[in-house]
Structure 1
Amino acid sequence: MVVIVFGLPGSGKSYFAERLAKLIKADYINSDRVRKELFKKRTYSKAEKQSVYDEMLATMKDAVDQDRNVVLDATFHTKETRNPFVKEMKSKGGIYFIEVTANEELIRERLKKARPYSEADFKIYKIIGSDNEPLKEPHLVLQSTNNNIGEMLQKAYDYLK
């Protein structure tokens, strides 16, 4: 099973995705961690982003070839970033998409705090948000707060059954 958890910076997607991966016994692939492994100095250029998604795709292919579940965690905010993953999985069972959202005031507060892997701030949130291409296919949308992770995980688990 392949699950793509996506959303804007500060939405709570990584906090959720890492816990979901543990719950469903899946490999966890986080774009921020991949970026830090690939690039000593990060510029967030288009080429750098493409390299990160290419590495995530390759890692996903390996996991699928070895019959392992995988949770991918990134903004996936454009069709261009989603399409290679969808194409790869079309004949292999498809992908479950889970979008994590949060209200903007909560996102602003979250992005003020240092996080171990992500350097995205509110300015980056706004830039990515302005480029966002909503997923039109049916998918689960979860609203993140600071105290509903259990409820989110249960809804995701039920959705994935």
Structure 2
Amino acid sequence: MSSDGRNTRAGRQGDEREHERRHGRRSAVPARGRRDGSVLIVVCGLPGVGKTSVAERVATRAEGTLLRTDVVRKERYPDPDYTSEETDAVYADLLDRAESLLEAGDTVVLDGTFRRERRREDAKRIAADADAEFRLLKVECDEAVVRERIANRTDDESDADFEVHRLLREEFDPVAVGHATVDNSGAPEETTARVDGLFPTP
């Protein structure tokens, strides 16, 4: 190999190490045959079911970067109107950020309702384009528990109330096969055990 080739490879490895240092460790989730082991994990479900707590645990177990639609929305629209155009822009921004991280070899966890099948397919497509593994988790919860949790929310980016939960429940596109379900109705340690079982550490 020429000295130019060795220098180029060394520079690339140095850039990768610097990116890893700045953006966090790489995925511990098995992803055989995938470039750098990158994984895109979508945590979907209705408002109030506890997606964020599940997504946070998933991100910890998978050593990934967590991106939330609620946070992206507030960054783009401090006083959001929740129009369809606004929502389209939020998901486009979310997936753009995820794509950049995946192409760098990082694992990414997306926390959002993803009530439309086309949005899940969009996420699956960017994972395929980045040669990353795709995993889909749907979080569910008993309605009575959802009502209580929404009523007790404090300091959260989500503006969705129980009426929004009920409305979106009627509009939620069925989730296709090939996903895992996390029931978040019980004690936190039960949910944690379920997530840990789905994302074992080495």
Distance 1:34 1:98 in 2: 20
1:103 corresponds to which letter in structure 2? D
Contact 2:45 / 2:140 at 8 angstroms: preserved in 1?
A: yes
Does residue 16 of structure 1 match 2:58?
A: no
Contact 2:48 / 2:147 at 8 angstroms: preserved in 1?
A: yes
Q: Which runs of 5+ in 1 are unaligned?
A: none
143-152 vs 59-68, which moves further:
143-152
Structure 2 equivalent of residue 101 of structure 1: 140
Distance 1:93 1:29 in 2: 17
Alignment of 1:60-71 (within 5 A): 60-71=98-109
Structure 1 equivalent of residue 83 of structure 2: 45
Q: Which protein, 1 or 2, shows the higher relative CO under an 8 Å CA cutoff with sep ≥ 6?
A: 1
Distance 2:153 2:192 in 1: 24
Contact 2:115 / 2:173 at 8 angstroms: preserved in 1?
A: yes
For residue 109 of structure 1, give the secondary structure of its aligned residue in structure 2: helix
4-13 vs 19-28, which moves further:
19-28
Distance 1:96 1:48 in 2: 26
Distance 1:103 1:80 in 2: 26
1:113 corresponds to which letter in structure 2? N
For residue 153 of structure 2, give the secondary structure of its aligned residue in structure 1: coil
Q: Which runs of 5+ in 2 are unaligned?
A: 1-38
Measured after TM superposition, the shift of residue 114 of structure 1 is 2.7
2:169 corresponds to which letter in structure 1? G
Please, what TM-score do these two structures have when normalized by structure 1? 0.92
2:151 corresponds to which letter in structure 1? K
Alignment of 1:68-83 (within 5 A): 68-83=106-121
Structure 1 equivalent of residue 22 of structure 2: none
Moved over 6 A (4+): none
Contact 2:57 / 2:192 at 8 angstroms: preserved in 1?
A: no
Distance 1:87 1:46 in 2: 21
2:87 corresponds to which letter in structure 1? K
Distance 2:43 2:118 in 1: 16
Q: Percent identity?
A: 24
